[in-house]
């Protein structure tokens, strides 16, 4: 073991004189009295190493001993991760609370996987098989999933299986297989192993382009600003615009297998709400607790800043691990701005040349490397798995031009910009339809969606003009265009998260309803006056809202649909030429 001595302390950065060789991202422990505080090497200069300490550094003094472990900052991978609530260093918080009481003490670290839990192991591999990193040796049931016990990812090359234990109950630390390399060396494998968090897991056959939509059952996202399975997206917005709520709704309804929430520096009150609500939520897929397929990494803004970075990398490593089992994982990071602020603080203590707004010059590359760990992959057995990353950004004052938001926008595939104006008007989700965008394909017809977006843009232009010249200064056609835009916003872009029906909308229903809305947007109406048009759309909006909360394909649903269609047909005098072309082209393609 390499030993060093503290020669300087600056906040949570400790400068150490080392007698020996150490490496970047190596774990070290700073000894303060009877406490050993976990730290990570972040810079090496000659015989001096700078460490970021993951605990409060009170009491550390010059001359204190530092023990270098030789291991990189890692997480423990194996069965038992699901349902857990970890801190940024993968300590189970409920167990920490039992040991420490109300206030968590420094220097206490708990095994992330319970060493006493027995798992029912079923072997898949047998003696004589040739295996490599990521190949399955056996499975254990973990909730509703078959958890694959794999050859650790750091075993490069091919190995021959010498022996595998028979089916039975074993702990994560029991030896379940022995493998032999080409030189005759034998390695004993358990159900669990460590993996460095800052090294992507690449034990798959091929990386694929994400094209299939990740269904969130939120209309404005699935239809207008979709996310791809294995893609990336960001949710920037000012405080109070609904970022955390939107993430929680997504985690509840998205069609994924595993949900990992990384509260990387979010306010403690919002995290407490998440911790209280999730165990009580019912998973719509299984009818059981949503926590059974969820992992929460909890590092609130009141915890040491260095752990924010650790929490982000811990979360993405766990997601990659489950991706190797052929599962689809959704990682929600809230909020990456706090992580960036922690990087800015550490960069200042390292006296690095600052970039824009004092953020480190390498901010963009660090954010890009994080989002690049998302992806859809084909595994060696032909199955596929994915990691989809959605990160919230909290720009000061809702300014999307600040460095963290801009660095994120350069690498993500979809941008869901939340608006203070819309949240104040109680238009939820508060995703701004004129500023947001997506590079992915949604669940509705592309041409129809683009037509609807143009109605939103054109209607907004009329609304801005009306603020200057008044309603009487616009033509009847322009006023109807404005009413169509407002109708689309009210009945499709907004969604009632408290209603059991409207809270999550299936793809089939979204397509059906959007086709009806397209017919309304593209219709040429025969109104005599603006008052008549206003009254018509007010009644139509109310009926459509009732339609949205009616059970799919129920008698109420069919009755309201018939009323809406009759109401529209009565006032329709024709159809827009572009809409006619879109519909005819669709018919031709089907033919």
Q: Are the CB atoms for 85 and 93 separated by under 8 Å?
A: yes
473 is in an annotated binding site: no
Environment class of residue 104 by beta-carbon count within 10 Å: exposed (0-12), middle (13-18) or buried (19+)? Answer: middle
Is residue 427 part of an annotated ligand binding site?
A: no
SS3 call for 572: strand
Find out whether 241 is annotated in a ligand binding site. Answer: yes
Q: Mark residue 111 as left, alpha or beta (left: phi above 0; alpha: psi -120 to 50; beta: remaining).
A: beta
Helix axes 446-469, 577-590, angle to 10 degrees: 170
Helix (H, G, I), strand (E, B) or coil at 259: strand
237 assigned to a ligand binding site: yes
Q: CA 558 → CA 2, 502, 529, 544, distances in Å?
A: 74, 16, 31, 12
3-class DSSP state of 237 = coil
The DSSP code sequence of 22-53 is: --TTEEEEEEETTEEEEEEEEEEETTEEEEEE
134 labeled part of a ligand binding site: no
Tokens 């897991």: give the residue: 201
Q: DSSP of 310-351, one letter per residue?
A: HHHHHHHHHHHHHHTTT-EEEEEES-HHHHHHHHHHHHHHTT
Cα distances (angstroms) measured from residue 220 to each of 63, 325, 371, 440, 542 = 58, 31, 23, 14, 19
- Both tokens of 113, joined, read 């996987």
Tokens encoding 46: 């000659």
Query: Residues within the annotated binding site?
Result: 237-244
> Residues at the annotated binding site for ATP?
237-244
């Amino acid at each position: 073991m390499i030993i060093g001595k503290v020669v300087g302390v600056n906040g949570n950065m400790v400068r150490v004189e080392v007698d020996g060789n150490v490496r970047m991202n190596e774990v070290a422990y700073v000894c303060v009295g009877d406490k050993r505080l976990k730290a990570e090497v972040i810079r090496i200069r000659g015989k001096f190493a700078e460490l970021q300490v993951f605990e409060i550094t009170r009491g550390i003094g010059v001359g204190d001993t530092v023990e270098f472990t030789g291991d990189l900052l890692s997480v423990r991978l194996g069965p038992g991760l699901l349902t857990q609530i970890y801190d940024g260093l993968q300590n189970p918080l409920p167990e920490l609370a039992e040991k420490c009481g109300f206030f968590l003490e420094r220097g206490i670290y708990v095994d992330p996987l319970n060493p006493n839990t027995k798992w029912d192991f079923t072997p898949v591999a047998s003696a004589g098989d040739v295996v490599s990193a990521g190949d399955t040796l056996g499975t254990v049931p973990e909730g509703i999933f078959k958890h694959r016990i794999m050859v650790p990812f750091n075993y490069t090359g091919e190995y021959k299986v010498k022996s595998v234990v028979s089916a039975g109950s074993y702990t994560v630390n029991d030896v379940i297989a022995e493998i032999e390399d080409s030189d005759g060396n034998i390695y004993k494998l358990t159900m669990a192993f460590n993996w460095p968090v800052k090294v992507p897991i690449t034990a798959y056959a091929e990386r694929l382009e994400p094209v299939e939509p990740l269904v969130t059952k939120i209309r404005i996202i699935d239809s207008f600003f979709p996310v791809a399975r294995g893609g990336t997206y960001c949710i920037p917005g000012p405080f109070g615009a609904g970022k955390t709520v939107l993430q929680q709704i997504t985690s509840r309804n998205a069609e994924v297998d595993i949900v990992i929430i990384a509260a990387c520096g979010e306010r403690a009150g919002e995290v407490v709400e998440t911790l209280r609500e999730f165990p009580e939520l019912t998973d719509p897929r299984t009818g059981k607790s949503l926590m059974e397929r969820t992992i929460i990494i909890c590092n609130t803004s009141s915890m040491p800043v260095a752990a924010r970075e650790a929490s982000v990398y811990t979360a993405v490593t766990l997601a990659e691990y489950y991706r190797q089992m052929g599962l689809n994982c959704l990682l929600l990071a809230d909020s990456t701005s706090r992580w960036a602020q922690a990087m800015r603080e550490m960069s200042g203590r390292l006296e690095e040349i600052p970039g824009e707004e004092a953020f480190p010059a390498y901010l963009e590359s660090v954010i890009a490397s994080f989002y690049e760990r998302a992806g859809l992959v084909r595994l060696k057995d032909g199955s596929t798995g994915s990691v989809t990353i959605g990160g919230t950004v909290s720009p000061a004052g809702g300014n999307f031009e600040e460095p963290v938001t801009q660095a994120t926008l350069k690498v993500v595939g979809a941008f869901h910009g939340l608006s203070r104006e819309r949240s104040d008007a109680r238009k939820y989700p508060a995703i701004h339809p004129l500023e947001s965008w997506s590079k992915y394909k949604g669940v509705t017809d592309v041409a129809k969606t683009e037509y609807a977006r143009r109605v939103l843009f054109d209607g907004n232009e009329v609304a801005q003009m009306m603020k200057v010249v008044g309603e009487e200064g616009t033509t009847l056609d322009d006023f109807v265009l404005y009413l169509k835009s407002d109708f689309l916003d009210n009945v499709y872009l907004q969604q009632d998260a408290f209603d059991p029906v409207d809270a999550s909308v299936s793809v089939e229903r979204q397509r059906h309803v959007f086709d009806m809305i397209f017919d309304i947007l593209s219709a040429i109406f025969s109104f005599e006056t603006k008052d008549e048009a206003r009254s018509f759309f007010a009644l139509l909006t109310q009926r459509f809202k009732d339609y949205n909360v009616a059970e799919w394909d129920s008698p109420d649903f069919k009755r309201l649909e018939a009323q809406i269609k009759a109401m529209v047909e009565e006032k329709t005098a024709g159809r827009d030429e572009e809409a006619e072309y879109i519909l005819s082209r669709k018919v031709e393609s089907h033919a």
